[in-house]
Amino acid sequence: MGERVVAVTGGHGVLGRAVVQAALDGGWTVAVIDHARGQTAPDGVKEIGGVDLTDPAQAQAAIDAVVETFGRLDALLNIAGGFAWQTTDDAAPAWDRMFALNLTTALNASRAALPHLKASTDGRIVNVGSAAALKAGTGMGAYAAAKSAVHRLTEALAEELKSTSVTVNAVLPSIIDTPQNRADMPDADPAAWVAPEDLAAVILFLASPASRAMTGALVPVTGKV
């Protein structure tokens, strides 16, 4: 078993895959928790698919499966989330969906993981917020509000856990260089965006024992935007 056991929610997305690979390259033991089924994970990775993290019971069962397999959990990386661009007068408001995908998933996974993380010498929770949540632009209201709630969850949990070894931090990326973003913004320069591998490196630092002096931090990772 690797020196750290880490659970990555949303591990089959573009950022999630980069985080999983970075953790493996660092010699960590990795479990992927994802809503998708039938995805192929790298060799040695515990695959837990078909999980609806908006359901507390499913989140608990997934985390319990990680601990049952590896005997412990040292870090939870809440990568699972979603995005929708829409103005507030849209006929089908996405606010509830954005809060469910971004906030509720992180909350349920964190609540399920906390007893195990407290048992670790260096328990870590790393959330993914957004630089867009610092000032919402047109069409970004629902998404920005949900990610702002992730920021507040990060801060609140950090305060609540200061008497333990568990730290809670969040990264605040700007635009991530993904195939979908390139397709949606064909005239933009992706060189100014954040590479998934670079964001993964920051996430892995926050998940490591080396970050023990940081908690409640909202870390901007904004490339050259």
Would you say 55 and 103 are in contact if contact means Cβ atoms under 8 Å apart?
A: no
Angstrom distance (rounded) from CA 3 to CA 27: 7
Pairwise CA distance, residues 221 & 224, whole Å: 9
Q: Considering 28, 70, 99, 143, which one is annotated as catalytic?
A: 143
Give CA–CA dist 32/90, Å, rounded: 34
Residue with tokens 């790393």: 126
One-letter amino acid for residue 164 of the chain: T
**Other Cβ atoms within 10 Å of 39 Cβ, number:** 13
Alpha-carbon distance 205 to 82, whole Å? Answer: 24
Q: Which amino acid is at 216?
A: G
| Kind plus residue range of the DSSP H or E element containing 154 | helix 141-160
Contact indicator for 124, 207 with CB cutoff of 8 Å: yes
Q: Would residue 143 show up in a list of annotated catalytic residues for this protein? A: yes
Catalytic residues: 143
